[in-house]
Amino acid sequence: MNFYDPRHTPDSSGTLHQWSNETANCGMGAIADLNGHKSYTIIDHALTSVCNMTHRGAVDADMKTGDGSGVLCQIPRPIFAKAAATFGYQGTADDLGVGVFFLPEGIAANVKSFTESVLTRRNIPFIGWREVPVNPDELGDLARLTQPEITHLLISRPADVEADHFERLLFLVRREIEREFKSQAAFYIPTLSSRLISYKGLAMPATLRAFYSDLQDSDFQTGISLYHQRFSTNTFPAWPLGQPFRMMCHNGEINTVRGNRNWMASREEFFESEIWGDDVEFLKDLMMDGESDSSSLDHALELLVLSGRRLEHAMCMLVPPAFRNDKEISEEVRAFYNYIRSFSEPWDGPAGLCFTDGLKLCAGLDRNGLRPSRFTLTEDNILYIGSESGAVVLPDSKIIRRGRLGPGQMLSANTTTGELLYDKEIKEQLAAQKPYAKWVDENRVELKSFTSDAALVPTEDFTPLELSRQQVTHGVTAEDLDMVFPPMIKGAQEAVFSMGDDIPLAPLSRYPRLLFTYFKQLFAQVTNPPIDPIREWAVMTLGAGLGPEQNLLAETPEHARILHLKSAILFEQELETITKRKEHGFSSIVIDTTWPVSEGVEGLKTALDRICAEAEEAANNKIEIVVLSDRTTSAERVPIPSLLA
């Protein structure tokens, strides 16, 4: 994390760098009062900042409809105390909860009726429905055509329920409503919380304040506000997809989002928590079709935080730093990351993030650090975080610290205690929560402990005829032998080609093609610099872990029980060693993925059915490692493509 004191102007003589250029980045950020004071100043700064980032979003031809902009802030109690009083509410403003509902035409009455029944069943006092004061004429034509009915649900905390549990109750209420109306594509609940509220829309930032009358009210008092100006990449602009979401805003793109969603879905059957009890079922099916990558990440963050993890801990699980080659972190911090990597994989960036639980404000970068995040702290404890340092003008005389987040780093501000923690302090605190080093040492098995590099040499020597047959069988071409393999063998590096590809796509080719060529890698749809070898060494790994899935909502020593592979590319001796780790609790089975040539084309389907049945039986018998092998390939037996198997 880099700092400079603005009271001492940095000397840039002898360089081409100019500090006046330190403004142009991307459109998101947050502002907080670390003293816990709530005022209109915070939301005013947030709206000013997002307006100064208009150049970071797209705009429709009407020059008013944007990809989406918004703010997420603490509930402005004075406004909603007045609103609740009109319904006869006599309790305190601090006990209020507010839900923001985007209601498509024709279902408003049904949604409201069902919501009230859920509140009654969960013993949450219902106060009333507030019609949100908006000015549709301020919107662009497209935004106005698609504008939902925007309504606020006012509720009160039950007398016997503490604040954190009330947040979980409201999450469960929202999940019940979402399940009931999941077929209604335009129905959405931006927030339902006793701490946070969302104001967002399909509008340019300058239109946001004009559209929502609440944002013009001096009673809009908050101590935390996230803001975001969206540039749509993966999804079309829509009201629900504007940011911030329920806990965070994100600048960048989650390149691994399809895999992340699939892994999350596959682990749902293991969900178990004393916090949720039987209601754990409502934590399932969180990810929805058509939502953005940022929205899915927000779901995952919300799930982990409401299930009991600290805000910083949850984000370290989801978007971790690169730590394997970092010489500056302690062994305790390294053990913490080795532990969480045993049962959770990264949501890989680029990612610049601001996130909050309503009490803390945090910011972080992904391990590549390809998105900027700068912060400013004033002497009266106003913290500004943003992708552009000049989006809001703060008097230089009051600024006591400026800095930026580096790759994988985090910043955490607690508005309840006034504490501001930087990256090293945060990570050391997290590493001290549990005896992670002990758990890793006692449960993690390292494959390298049973193999030596000297032994990792080919043990099987093919005859020229057999080698040619294997190459033909597995689609190795003369071009591969001449141009691809030599650089790998001689220089331990990949061959470099031009980016052009003038051969037909596999589905359109008239020649037999490998199954792999029918698939293309998904690339980020935003501009990123290429990953150079130095960055690749610093932030990437081929390491992998073998072992059973674990309950994502819990922390136990068994969560660290994996067979760790330094690389997912294995030599024969390493594969053989893996199959002999039963003594460490890792039982294995080898499944043949070939079928007899005599069965013809129909034999492929029969073989696939057999493989699936054998794998399912192995899982039922608690076998933890399944090896799919085409080693029996011969003139009499045909291998199933490994990707298909």
Annotated catalytic residues are 26
- Gap between the Cα atoms of 293 and 250, Å rounded: 9
Instruction: Considering only the C-alpha atoms of the chain, give the largest distance between any 2 of them, rounded to a whole number of Å.
Output: 90
Question: Which of these, 581, 584, 583, 578, lies nearest to 628 by C-alpha position?
Answer: 578
Question: Whole-angstrom Cα distance, residue 283 to residue 279?
Answer: 8
Secondary structure of residue 144 in the 3-state scheme: helix
Other CB atoms within 10 A of residue 475 CB: 14
Q: Among candidates 254, 255, 287, which has minimal Cα distance to 268?
A: 287
Cβ atoms within 10 A of the Cβ of 370, count?
Answer: 21
Distance, CA of 614 to CA of 626 (rounded, Å): 10
DSSP per-residue codes, 159-221:
TT--HHHHHHHHHHHHHHHHHHTTT-TT-EEEEEESSEEEEEESS-HHHHHHHBGGGG-TT--
Q: Residue type at 383?
A: L
Which residue is listed with tokens 């301020």? 138
Q: Chain centroid to CA 93: how far? A: 33
Task: Give the single-character DSSP code of 629.
Answer: E
Q: Token digits for 583?
A: 């003594």
Integer Cα distance of 338 and 560 in angstroms: 8
Residues whose CB is less than 8 angstroms from the CB of residue 550 and which lie 6 or more positions away in sequence, other chains included: 267, 270, 342, 343, 556, 558, 559
Non-local CB neighbours of 109 within 8 Å, separated by 6+ positions? none
Angle at 360 between CA 559 and CA 401, to 5 degrees: 115
Which residues fall within 8 angstroms of residue 474, CB to CB, at 6 or more apart? Answer: 639
**Residues paired with residue 639 on neighbouring β-strands, in sequence order:** 594
Alpha helices in 5-140 (DSSP H): 40-51, 77-85, 108-121
Name the DSSP class of 322.
Answer: P
List residues bridging with 182 in a β-sheet.
Answer: none
Q: Which of 351, 254, 349 is nearest to 296 (CA)?
A: 254
- Tokens 């051969």 sit at which residue? 503
Q: Can you tell me the distance from the alpha carbon of 144 to that of 343, in angstroms, rounded to the nearest whole number? A: 45
Q: How far apart are the first and last CA of the chain?
A: 46
- Distance, CA of 238 to CA of 295 (rounded, Å): 13
Give 7: exposed, middle or buried? Use CB within 10 Å, 0-12, 13-18, 19+: exposed
Rounded to an integer, what distance in angstroms lies between the CA atom of residue 368 and that of residue 382? 28
User: To which residue do tokens 């799930």 refer?
Assistant: 303
Secondary structure (DSSP) of 21-61: GTT---SEEEEEETT---BHHHHHHHHHHHHTTGGGS-B-T
Helix (H) or strand (E) holding 145, with range, is helix 141-145
